[in-house]
A and B are shown apart, each in its own frame.
Chain A
C-alpha cells in the first residue's frame, strides 16, 4: 500500500516536472515583461491540474498494462524467426501506437481547425473531425511503414545513413511539388510522432531484435527505428497534401 502511494507520488512528480519549465517560462514573461494578470486564470489552473493528473494516469497505465505486453510480444516474435509475422507486428505496432499518441491528436486537431478557418475544407464539425482523423491515420500509416522498413533493414544489416539521407532527399523533392499549406504540418508531424507511447515500445522491439541477431548493436539499431519513425511521416503527409489538395 505504502509502496503504491509512493510510486503514484513519484509519477505525479514526473508529470509535474514536465510541466514546470513551461509554467516557469510563461510566469517569468507574464510578470517581468507583460506585467498584467493572465486572463482566465481559474480555467488555466483547472486545465493544468487535469494535464498533470491525466498524464500521470496515462503513463502509469501504459507502464503496468501495455508496455509489458508489447515487450513480451516483441521478444517472443523476435525469437520466432517468422518474417511475415514480425513485419506484420512491426506495422501494427507503429500504426496502433501512433493513432493513440496524445501529441499527434493535439496537432491534428489544430491543423484541421486552421484548415477550416482558411476555407481549405468545409467549416463544419464533421469536416474538421474528418480531416483531423485522416491526418492522424496518414501519420500512423507512415510510422507503420517506417517500422517495417526499419525491421527489414535491421535483419539485412543495410546502413542507416544511406536510407536516411535518401529519405531527406525525397522530402526535399516532394516539398517542391506539395501545396504550400501542407508543408509546415508535414515537417512538424515528424517531431510529433516520437513521444510518450511510440518511443518505448519501438525501442523495445529494436533492442529485442538486435539482441537476437549476432553482431548487431542494440543502441545503434534501436535508434535506426526511431529515426525512420520521424522521417516517414514527413514524406507521407506531403503526399497526403498533394492528394487531398
Chain B
C-alpha cells in the first residue's frame, strides 16, 4: 500500500458522520443571520450562503454525504480569489465584509469535505466565529431573541454530540434505541436554558467595564440615517419623516399627562445662515455653561419671563446625529442624570446666541437629562444683532412679491407679527404638504412659491423665513420634533423620526420677541398620536428596544456604579428600618432592654415561630389527606383529630396504636369503624364506595362534635 493511500483516512469510518454534519450545519446556518440585518453582510450574500448550505445538507439528509477531494478544494480556493477581488472592489471595500465572505465560503467547503475528526473541530470553530461576529455587530434588541433561539438549537446539538462521541464504538446503542434519540428532552433543555439566562443577567451586570461601551456601526452624524445634521439641505429632507425610529423617550416623572402636552414641541437646532439652498447653524461660539451634580441649568431664553414648572420630565436621548441638547420649547431648566455625572463629572455645554446648546463632549449612546417644563413656550427676547445672519435676505423680487400678496396689505415694519401670521396662514392653507424630495431647480424657493406649491416642512419653513427676511423681519429656521406617540403603559411618549419638524422663529419686536410660526399645512404637521392595541404591542417592543439600547448596549461603568449605589442605599434603608424597629421595641420595653437583650429576644421570637410552624406542620401538614383514597383520608383525619386532643400519634403510627389512643380518649366506636375501613382499603385492596365514604365523613363529624362514642 502506498504511503499516500495509507495516510488517507476513510471518511465513511467516521462515527455518526451524517448526524454530525447535519448538526454542525444547523449551527452554521443560524449563526450569520443577524449579520445581514446590520451593515456587516449583504442580504444577497447571506441568501447565497444559505442556499448552498441548504443544498449540501439536503444531500446529507438524503444519505448522500459528499466529500470533496483535496484537489477540488484547492481549485475552489483559487477561484475564490476572483470573487474576493470583485467583493472588495465593488462591495464597499469593507474588510469586515470581506472577512465574513471568506468565513462563509470556508464553512460551506469544510462541511462538504469532512474526512477526519479534526474537520469537525474546524467546522465548530467556524460556527463559533460566526456567532461571535453576529453578537458583536448587532445593535438591535432582537439579538436577544436570536441568542435564545441559537442556544435552544445548540443545546440539543451538543447534548447529542456528547453521546455520539461516547458511543462511537457502538453506534447502534444510539441508533437502535428510540429513547436515546429523544435525548435531551425539551423540558430539560428549557429549564437548563432558563437557568443559564437567569445566571447570565447578574454576570452581565457585574463584569468589570474597563472601557466605554462601544457599538459597531453606530451612526454618528450621518445625514442619510438621521436626517439631522449641522446643515439642512432642503433637497435631501424627506427620508427622516418616513422613519419610525425612536429618537427620544420622554417620561413624565411629575405633572399631568395629557393628550396634547406642550412639551412635545422639542427644539433641536436653530439655523440662521442660508446659502445655495442649504441652511447652516451659527458658528459654534457662545457661553460655556455646565450641568453639575444637583444643580439645574436654566434653559429658558435670556430675557424671557420666568414660569412655574408644571412638568418634571426625563428625556432619554438616542443618537441624533448632531451634538446639541434637545429641549422642549416650554423648558425652564435641565439637570444631568446621575449616570451622566458619574461618567463625566461636570457636563459642559456651549450656549450660542440663538438658543442652541452644543455638546462639547462625545455623548454616550443613550443619555438622560431631567427637564423642568412650564405650561407655555418661553419666548426669547434678545434682539438680533445688526449683522446677524438672520437678517440676510436673498434679494429675490419674486419672493418679495409673494410676501406682499400674501400679507394683504399688512405692513411688516409696523406690525411684523401680523405680517408673519398672514404669511403663515397663506402657506398653511393654500399650499400642499408632500415628502417628495424631487430635485429642485436653481431657485427652489421661488419655484415652490410660484409653481410647485407642494413641499415638506423644511420647504415651507424656508420659504416663510426668506419671505420674512425679504420684508426686513429677521428669521431663523428651527428643526426639532413636534409630536410623539403616547405610550399606553406608563406616562411616557416616544418621539420618532416621523415626528421631526421644522418651523420658523421670527423677530417680532422687543415686546413679542422671537415668535414661533409653523407654515406647514396641518396635514403635514406631526402631532400626538394615540395607539391602537396592535400598535401598543409594537410600541412596547420599541420601548424594550430603547431600554435595550440604553441599559444593555450602552451599559457602562457609570451604570455599574449607579447600581451599586442603589443597592447600597437599599441596604442602608433596610438597616435604618431595622434600627427604628429596635428603637421602637426598646422604648416599648421601657428602655431597659439592652442590645444583647434585643438580640436574645429576636432569637427567641424566631425559635417560637419555628416551633409553631412545626406544630402546625405536624398537626396539619404531617397528616396530609390530599390525593388519598376515601378511607385512608378519613383515617389520617382521625389521627389528626386524636393528636389535637393529646394523643401521641404520628402518620406512621400503626392502626392498633391509633385504636388504643382512640379508646383512651373515648372515641373507640367511631375509630374502630374508620380504622376497619382503612385496613380493608389499604391492605385488602378494597375500593371504598361513595356511600361508605360519606358515612365515614359523617363519623368524623360526630367525632369532631365531641359526642362520646365508647
Do chains A and B interact in one complex? no
